[in-house]
Amino acid sequence: MLDNLLIALKVSGIGIVVLLLALTVFAGLVSLMTRFLKDRPEEEESGEVEEAEIAESETIPAESELGRIAAIAVAIARAQSAFVTSSNPSSSALSSWGQFHLNRRLNSSVPTRRTK
């Protein structure tokens, strides 16, 4: 019995050591990769052109863009109204069976409900 326990402890100890060594190797690899692999700098010319195009499109939206914006706003409003009405059921929506059990629970004289 004692031999089995010692073998189990040795195996688990070796497993923990191997796991920690593997984790440190992976942490070292990630550290080296972040140190030596850098992102390439973006070209400034293409960035300036894109910023100018974005600024023009934001100042004067086209008629089709206004239509899209309005359609998105209407869709969001309809989704929010559907969510609000479905997530707040009124007490009249309960069946008579549900109202019976709700009243029974509220009117029960359970000692845990009493306050002193």
Neighbours of 94 (CB within 10 A): 13
Tell me if 102 sits within 8 A of 94, measured CB to CB.
Answer: yes
In a domain, 54, yes or no: no
Which domain does 32 fall in, by range?
A: 8-37
pLDDT of residue 22: 97
Token pair 């206004």 in the structure block, residue: 66
**CA atoms within a 13 Å half-sphere pointing along the CA-CB vector of 88:** 6
Number of domains into which the chain is organized: 1
pLDDT of residue 113: 55
Q: Alpha-carbon distance 10 to 17, whole Å?
A: 11
pLDDT of residue 105: 81
Per-residue pLDDT of the chain (116 residues; tens, 9 = 90+): 889 999 999 999 999 999 999 999 999 999 999 988 877 776 665 555 555 555 555 555 567 788 889 889 998 988 888 776 554 455 557 788 888 888 888 887 666 655 55
Separation in Å, CA 46 to CA 38, 43, 49, 58, 60: 20, 6, 5, 18, 22
In a domain, 13, yes or no: yes
Look up the pTM and report it.
0.34
pLDDT of residue 10: 96
pLDDT of residue 6: 94
In a domain, 96, yes or no: no
In a domain, 33, yes or no: yes
pLDDT of residue 48: 55
In a domain, 20, yes or no: yes
Q: Alpha-carbon distance 33 to 56, whole Å?
A: 40
In a domain, 50, yes or no: no
